[in-house]
Amino acid sequence: MRQLPVLFKRELASYFTTPLAYVFIVIFLVLSGVFTFYLGNFFESGQANLAPFFAFHPWLYLFLVPAIAMRLWAEERKSGTIELLMTLPVTRFEAVTGKFLAAWAFAGLALLLTFPMIITVNYLGEPDNGAIITGYIGSWLLAGAYLAIGSCMSALAKNQVIAFILAVSVCFLFIVSGFPMVLDGFSGWAPQWVIDAVASLSFLTRFDAISKGVIDLRDLLYFLTLIAAWLAATAVVIDLKKAD
């Protein structure tokens, strides 16, 4: 665990040595504003809350977060530096966790830079700031889930574009798993407990409750368990690829 802070700082700093970090932040902030004030009909609703802001996050993250995650391991494998990393006095847990936490912190930084939204909504009315805070927590957890999946896909692929496509595809499945059209495909042959299990995997269902200010321990455990499971899968994939 002693090398984890060092690896975390190294990985986080690497984001700002290329234009990637700045491009991502600018795109995220611009799209957040467009989705909230234009597509989300913020002013037309006449309500001082950030519901339109959070409503688009699952779809906004679907493409932006895998763009961060695709470089976590695919670039290391392509350049051959993954072998060097594995020879350092760093455990597999430290390597996987350090890279993930750096990416998660970066995503959190981009999310924090949307604070003018909070100022705006408080200027226009008297919102429930407690619900806004839980919405931010839920959004950060959602980003972490996307990143954990993206980390595993990046470990699977040597090409960043392939890693990106795989991550988007898997995350999309987790989004639509609660949609009626998906559940209807199981209703004809699967028992009810299978249908309920598939529905419970939906990012939208879990995130929607948190973004509205409802903190349910089951939703928090869902995201944390999902993150831990995909990071464990990342470590397994790295071991398998090393064996190859």
User: Is the confidence at residue 226, as pLDDT, over 70?
Assistant: yes
Each residue of 179-210: b (16+ CB within 10 Å) or e? Answer: eeebbeebeeeeeeeebeebbeebbbebbbbb
User: Is the confidence at residue 80, as pLDDT, over 70?
Assistant: no
* DSSP line for 5-31: HHHHHHHHHHHTTSTHHHHHHHHHHHH
| Between 81 and 105, the higher pLDDT residue | 105
79 backbone dihedrals φ, ψ, rounded to 5°: -85, -10
Helix axes of 160-176 and 129-156: crossing angle, nearest 10 degrees: 130
Tell whether the torsion through CA atoms of 52, 127, 30 and 204 is positive or negative.
Answer: negative
Q: How far apart are CA 55 and CA 65, in angstroms?
A: 16
pTM of the model: 0.90
pLDDT tens for 20-69 read: 788 889 999 999 888 887 776 666 666 667 888 898 999 999 999 999 99
- Confirm if 114 and 29 have CB atoms less than 8 A apart: yes
Q: How far apart are CA 143 and CA 109, in angstroms?
A: 12
The whole-chain average pLDDT of the chain stands at 85
**Tell me, what DSSP letter sits at residue 202?**
-
197 backbone dihedrals φ, ψ, rounded to 5°: -65, -40
129-133, 189-193, 226-230, 231-235, range with the lowest pLDDT:
189-193
Share of the chain above pLDDT 90, in %: 36
Share of the chain above pLDDT 70, in %: 88
Instruction: Tell me what pLDDT residue 90 has.
Output: 75
pLDDT tens for 150-161 read: 999 998 888 889
pLDDT tens for 124-169 read: 878 888 888 999 999 999 999 999 999 999 988 888 899 999 999 9
Q: How far apart are CA 139 and CA 109, in angstroms?
A: 12
User: Is the confidence at residue 112, as pLDDT, over 60?
Assistant: yes
- Confirm if 22 and 116 have CB atoms less than 8 A apart: no
